[in-house]
Amino acid sequence: MTHDTAFLDGILPDDAVARSTASLDAHATDWGTESEDGVAPDVVVYPETTDAVSAVLSAADERGVPVTPYAAGTSLEGNPVPVEGGISMDLTRMDEVLAVRPGDFQVDVQPGVLGSVVDEAVGEYGLFFPPLPSSGDISTIGGMIANDASGMGTVKYGEVADWVLELEAVLADGSVVSPGSRAIKSSSGYNLKDLLVGSEGTLAVITRATLKLAGRPQQVRAGRALFPTLDDAVGAVTDAVQSGVDVAKIELLDRDSARMANAYSGTDLPDRPTVFVEFHADHGVAEEVEFCTTVFADHDAERFAVVDGDEMDDLWAAREELAVAIEAWDPDLRPLHPGDVTVPIGDLGAVVRRAKELAAERDQVVPCFGHAGDGNLHYTVLVDPDDDEAVARAEETYADIVALALERGGTATGEHGIGLGKREYLVAEHGEAGVAAMRSLKTALDPNDTLNPEKIFPGENADRPQ
Amino acid sequence: MTHDTAFLDGILPDDAVARSTASLDAHATDWGTESEDGVAPDVVVYPETTDAVSAVLSAADERGVPVTPYAAGTSLEGNPVPVEGGISMDLTRMDEVLAVRPGDFQVDVQPGVLGSVVDEAVGEYGLFFPPLPSSGDISTIGGMIANDASGMGTVKYGEVADWVLELEAVLADGSVVSPGSRAIKSSSGYNLKDLLVGSEGTLAVITRATLKLAGRPQQVRAGRALFPTLDDAVGAVTDAVQSGVDVAKIELLDRDSARMANAYSGTDLPDRPTVFVEFHADHGVAEEVEFCTTVFADHDAERFAVVDGDEMDDLWAAREELAVAIEAWDPDLRPLHPGDVTVPIGDLGAVVRRAKELAAERDQVVPCFGHAGDGNLHYTVLVDPDDDEAVARAEETYADIVALALERGGTATGEHGIGLGKREYLVAEHGEAGVAAMRSLKTALDPNDTLNPEKIFPGENADRPQ
């Protein structure tokens, strides 16, 4: 579908409108869809101000031209793919840290700033942004808010939504709202802020955010333990969380993931289920490490090494390079739909075990890892993309694991949103009435379906003006 | 306005429908409006199941009969007053703790259960519900969720919204939704859960909630310090929070509040600005107390007493009885609109100082206190209710303090909702576009304006069917 976007030239300066093939192609996919052709927009715009965002939106909304926000493109579910063409709105020129208020533990940022840049800017005041995802040095705050991202620190600190105090956002008709406040709590009116967080650019374009920060812990320790079996490793994680060990990160790698990480990084560690852990405290970190050691020992932990300072980087490297290690494992195999499910912590063991059983039954390679302390499981099926039958069987395993997470009261996506990839699970998770309520919210805030159409909701939107 | 509610007799058993004057009058006001006549509903219903809630709502919605949810009636802003008559839906018979899952740190409850009952039920597993407000032994979980309440523990643990994982709720048309999940994080679809939290019964009736819990801290200490001046006391609170002292509660009483508390409880403490503090830790509580002592000493703290065990109850009594003490202070004076504003912590000093200046300039008694670590300020103007001029001047002071909080980037209500009492500040806080967006959400989920009409939004709702 091609849209007439000539009207943009009257709204934006020349250097803020791009129609080159390279620009269009660069906005046709995200990480999760980059092996596909994607859908190129008709035009890419690079607004630098809230007024510019508003002007583009109100003009596009009047003309029935879709607008899909785009930032770093590091999402996994096709969230910013402009499937109906139109305008890709690239927010990466709005990349400033506007103000740090250390006494209030707050920072104001533009949406296109990288997470690591924010973390560095507030670091000089002894502060940090705790829910930063692992991709924080290449992904933007706007994208994290749009997908309600989270990361390794979520087990202690919560998800991105928990750290957003106030937003400035532009609705489809160009009107500008500022939901939330700078107070750390509010019960004033409807919580429009948390409705926009995680709405994947389908309800508004975020143009500014006030984030809450935390003081950097004075004591940090990192640890890594190997376990004889997956059951031991999952048992150790579950037991640590349930016993109240104060972990700031607790990550699980199954044997397949460990094998790929070890191969990629060239360590001499045996390929065993592995748990990485990090402790943050202002005092008493030694007691916490000791507590964790006792819990891990009950599950036959081996080689539990705890380090601090620069040694922590080396220890964490294997975990942090894992996504790349899985990609690199076998040049003939591609990871199908890397993403996550999340379940109550008490159900994590059952879900991981079943995932591995399915892999064994179907003779598939399914590396499992994730922010296990949250009940979060990342998994992917490695598959030959040219073997249609193998791809179909891989899709089945993928879907079975999502279904299992939902059965256990969990969610189809803990941290990557629905995008295109998980639309088919929305009704299973939220029910017909829940999805109908969500659709009515979309219609209320974006009646012409201008913003990021066809995302989140299954099927075509019959109301879309042609 | 009287509505025909005879249709209820075909839906509910006899003992679930009350039309006695006593029943109607008991649902005509809440705490914040009990000195007023209130507005009696035409009927009170006492549903015991989700199906009954759904049946009443769908029948009322078809007939244009308003339905206003009611629980303990401990709200302050007239939130459950049925101003258009119709049905008061009393949820207090749905008061069960349905299931505790200690391994997941979760409890499922019905909306009419008292906060203290939940806390006790999970206590036997070593768990607690951290955001419980001070009124937790007389207020219900449903009411806390509806108003997004918070309390003394919010400075460490967050507000009620932060501890709600999943809801079951009935929309105006009778359809049942279950937003959220039992996983501790999700980015699946729109965050309908947090839209319902704090919506004051205007979007849905909550019929079940899954709450997140925390492990009870192994070390608890309580402290109380007096300060020579209000500036010293506010400085001590602000400095403690900004320095990162790990306080679980930190409460401020100005000299007026302290005087009233001392008079009521008959202590021999001097009437000085007072700070109460509580520490929760699993280890290292002594270091935290010492850190706090140092910070307080910098602000000339006097008589800083720290106790544990049963002595903590005695120490906290003066703070916990404060609302009653203010009521009892002078039989000729009534507290006008007890409620709160909340600002960024760095602005708390300026707001408290200005409140006291206004009181001095206008010769009014304005006790100020609150969960100061959150930037929260409770205040009220004591006034002779029969002196119209004095009441008008008191209203002015009240409004000036709200305006000041908004100027400082704060909120008109940190924890009591908008209800009837704060509707006039909604536009000032959220802007015309923000309020228009909120209205569109109301229309989307409750097109006939059946649920708790006339609340939150200023002015008449022109769309109400007559």
Alpha helices (H) in A124-275, listed in sequence order: 141-146, 154-157, 192-196, 230-243, 255-265
B contacts of A289 (beta carbons < 8 Å): none
Alpha helices (H) in A42-136, listed in sequence order: 50-63, 115-123
Strand-pairing partners, residue A68, are A88
Distance of CA A55 to the CA centre of its chain: 29
Cβ distance A344 to B106 less than 8 Å, yes or no, reads yes
Coil/strand/helix, residue A159: coil
- Residues above pLDDT 70, as percent of chain A: 98
Q: Which of B154, B426, B444 sits opposite A185 (nearest CB)?
A: B154
**CA of B332 to nearest chain A CA: how many angstroms apart?**
32
Cβ distance A411 to B181 less than 8 Å, yes or no, reads yes
Cβ distance B426 to A188 less than 8 Å, yes or no, reads yes
Mutate to test the interface with B, among A58, A188, A192, A250 (most CBs of B within 10 A): A188
B contacts of A374 (beta carbons < 8 Å): 183-185
**CA of B271 to nearest chain A CA: how many angstroms apart?**
30
Nearest residue to B419 (alpha-carbon basis) of B143, B87, B41, B171: B143
- Amino acid letter, B298: D
Find out whether B445 and A437 touch, Cβ atoms under 8 Å: yes
Find out whether B389 and A159 touch, Cβ atoms under 8 Å: no
Q: Which of A187, A194, A374 sits opposite B414 (nearest CB)?
A: A187
**CA of B406 to nearest chain A CA: how many angstroms apart?**
9
- Concatenate the DSSP letters of all residues of B346-373 into one string: GGHHHHHHHHHHHHHHTT-B--EEE-GG
Backbone angles phi, psi at B135, to 5 degrees: -85, 15
Q: According to CATH, where is 3.30.70.2190 located in chain B?
A: 219-322
Structure tokens at A265: 């990084």
Cβ distance A413 to B195 less than 8 Å, yes or no, reads no
Nearest residue to A237 (alpha-carbon basis) of A189, A180, A276, A265: A276
Structure tokens at B184: 């501790």
Assign domain B97-215 to a CATH class. Answer: alpha beta
Q: Which of A150, A185, A244 sits opposite B414 (nearest CB)?
A: A185
Find out whether A36 and A29 touch, Cβ atoms under 8 Å: yes
What are the strands of the beta sheet with A43-45, ordered from one edge?
A: A17-18, A43-45, A87-90, A67-70
Q: Does A6-92 carry CATH code 3.30.43.10?
A: yes
**CA of A396 to nearest chain B CA: how many angstroms apart?**
20
**Strands B87-90 and B43-45: what pairing?**
parallel
For B169, which residue in chain A has the nearest alpha carbon?
A434
SS3 of B384-410: the string is CCCCHHHHHHHHHHHHHHHHHHHHCCC
What is the model's pLDDT at position A464? 38
Assign domain B219-322 to a CATH class. Answer: alpha beta
Find out whether A166 and A44 touch, Cβ atoms under 8 Å: no
Residues contacting residue A111 through CB under 8 Å, at least 6 positions apart: A71, A91, A94, A140, A141, A142, A143, A145, A205, A206, A207, A208, A209
Rounded distance, CA B422 to CA B147, Å? Answer: 13
The helix (H) or strand (E) run that includes residue B381 is: strand B376-383
Q: Which of B288, B344, B434 sits opposite A179 (nearest CB)?
A: B434
**Strands B274-281 and B249-253: what pairing?**
antiparallel
Q: Which of A148, A189, A345 sits opposite B418 (nearest CB)?
A: A189
Q: Which of A199, A343, A437 sits opposite B445 (nearest CB)?
A: A437
Q: According to CATH, where is 3.30.465.10 located in chain B?
A: 97-215
Nearest residue to B186 (alpha-carbon basis) of A380, A370, A342, A431: A342
Rounded distance, CA B4 to CA B64, Å? Answer: 10
**CA of A262 to nearest chain B CA: how many angstroms apart?**
30
* Interval A322-347 mean pLDDT: 94
pLDDT digits (tens, 9 = 90+) for A272-309: 999 999 999 998 899 999 999 999 999 999 999 999 99
Angle among Cα B283, A214, A207 to the nearest 5 degrees reads 155
A contacts of B183 (beta carbons < 8 Å): 342-344, 374-376, 405, 409-411, 414
What is the model's pLDDT at position A466? 31
Cβ distance B190 to A198 less than 8 Å, yes or no, reads yes
Tokens 């079996």 -> residue: A229
Cβ distance B177 to A430 less than 8 Å, yes or no, reads yes
Find out whether A274 and A225 touch, Cβ atoms under 8 Å: yes
Query: Distance between terminal CA atoms of chain B?
Result: 10
Q: Which of A147, A182, A434 sits opposite B344 (nearest CB)?
A: A182
**CA of B195 to nearest chain A CA: how many angstroms apart?**
5
Structure tokens at B156: 């460490």
Does residue A457 register a pLDDT over 50? yes
Cβ distance A189 to B282 less than 8 Å, yes or no, reads no
Cβ distance B192 to A413 less than 8 Å, yes or no, reads no
Strands, E assignment, B136-243: 164-171, 176-177, 204-212, 214-215, 219-226
Cβ distance B185 to A282 less than 8 Å, yes or no, reads no
For A341, which residue in chain B has the nearest alpha carbon?
B186
Rounded distance, CA B57 to CA B62, Å? Answer: 8
Find out whether A379 and A416 touch, Cβ atoms under 8 Å: no
Cβ distance B189 to A246 less than 8 Å, yes or no, reads no
Distance of CA A257 to the CA centre of its chain: 20
pLDDT digits (tens, 9 = 90+) for A32-50: 998 888 999 999 999 999 9
A contacts of B215 (beta carbons < 8 Å): 244
Cβ distance B244 to A215 less than 8 Å, yes or no, reads yes
Q: According to CATH, where is 3.30.70.2190 located in chain A?
A: 219-323
Nearest residue to B333 (alpha-carbon basis) of B366, B361, B360: B366
**CA of A258 to nearest chain B CA: how many angstroms apart?**
25
**Per-residue tens of pLDDT for chain B, all 466 residues:** 799 999 999 999 999 999 999 999 999 999 999 888 899 999 999 999 999 999 999 999 999 999 999 999 999 999 999 999 999 999 999 999 999 999 999 999 999 999 999 999 999 999 999 999 999 999 999 999 999 999 999 999 999 999 999 999 999 999 999 999 999 999 999 999 999 999 999 999 999 999 999 999 999 999 999 999 999 999 999 999 999 999 999 999 999 999 999 999 888 889 999 999 999 999 889 999 999 999 999 999 999 999 999 999 988 988 989 999 999 999 999 999 888 999 999 999 999 999 999 999 999 999 999 999 999 999 999 999 999 999 999 999 999 999 999 999 999 999 999 999 999 999 999 999 999 999 999 999 999 999 999 999 998 544 433 3
Tokens 């059946």 -> residue: B450
**Strands A164-171 and A176-177: what pairing?**
antiparallel
Q: Which of B101, B184, B192 sits opposite A438 (nearest CB)?
A: B192
Maximum separation of any 2 CA atoms in chain A, in Å:
69
The sign one gets for the Cα dihedral B177, B179, B182, B183 is positive
Q: Which of A287, A374, A413 sits opposite B283 (nearest CB)?
A: A287
A contacts of B422 (beta carbons < 8 Å): 188
Mutate to test the interface with B, among A100, A178, A190 (most CBs of B within 10 A): A190
B contacts of A191 (beta carbons < 8 Å): 148, 161, 194-195, 197-199
Strand-pairing partners, residue B100, are B107
Coil/strand/helix, residue B232: helix
Nearest residue to B45 (alpha-carbon basis) of B218, B192, B241, B205: B205
B contacts of A414 (beta carbons < 8 Å): 183, 185-187
Find out whether B328 and B264 touch, Cβ atoms under 8 Å: yes
Backbone angles phi, psi at A411, to 5 degrees: -130, 150
The helix (H) or strand (E) run that includes residue A400 is: helix A388-407
Cβ distance B411 to A181 less than 8 Å, yes or no, reads yes
Structure tokens at A59: 């003009």
What is the model's pLDDT at position A37? 85
* Interval A148-170 mean pLDDT: 97
Q: Which of A106, A375, A415 sits opposite B344 (nearest CB)?
A: A106
What is the model's pLDDT at position B460? 57
Confidence tier at A116 by pLDDT (50, 70, 90): very high
Rounded distance, CA B203 to CA B178, Å? Answer: 14
Nearest residue to A403 (alpha-carbon basis) of A456, A358, A346, A454: A358
Mutate to test the interface with A, among B108, B125, B187 (most CBs of A within 10 A): B187
B contacts of A376 (beta carbons < 8 Å): 183, 185
Nearest residue to A227 (alpha-carbon basis) of A375, A357, A352: A352
- Concatenate the DSSP letters of all residues of B51-97 into one string: HHHHHHHHHHHHHT--EEEESS---SS-TT--TT-SEEEE-TT---E
Q: Please give the CATH topology (third level) of the domain spanning A219-323.
A: Alpha-Beta Plaits (3.30.70)
Confidence tier at A460 by pLDDT (50, 70, 90): low
Compute the residue count for chain A.
466
Backbone angles phi, psi at B375, to 5 degrees: 75, 20
A460 vs B449, residue with greater confidence = B449
A contacts of B414 (beta carbons < 8 Å): 183, 185-187
B contacts of A346 (beta carbons < 8 Å): 101, 103-104
Cβ distance A343 to B375 less than 8 Å, yes or no, reads no
Mutate to test the interface with B, among A184, A401, A424 (most CBs of B within 10 A): A184
| Chain A, chain B: beta-carbon pairs less than 8 Å apart | 294
Helix crossing, B285-297 with B230-243: angle to 10°? 140
Cβ distance A342 to B183 less than 8 Å, yes or no, reads yes
Find out whether B380 and A155 touch, Cβ atoms under 8 Å: no
Q: What is the CATH number of domain A330-407?
A: 3.30.70.2740
Cβ distance A415 to B187 less than 8 Å, yes or no, reads yes
**CA of A159 to nearest chain B CA: how many angstroms apart?**
7
Cβ distance B185 to A374 less than 8 Å, yes or no, reads yes
For A440, which residue in chain B has the nearest alpha carbon?
B444
**CA of A441 to nearest chain B CA: how many angstroms apart?**
6
**Strands A87-90 and A43-45: what pairing?**
parallel
Rounded distance, CA A437 to CA A430, Å? Answer: 10
Count of beta carbons in the 10 Å neighbourhood of residue B37: 9
SS3 of B298-333: the string is CCCCEEEEEECCCHHHHHHHHHHCHHHHHHHCCCCC
- Amino acid letter, A403: A
Strands, E assignment, A197-352: 204-212, 214-215, 219-226, 249-253, 274-281, 302-307, 334-342
Q: According to CATH, where is 3.30.70.2740 located in chain B?
A: 330-407
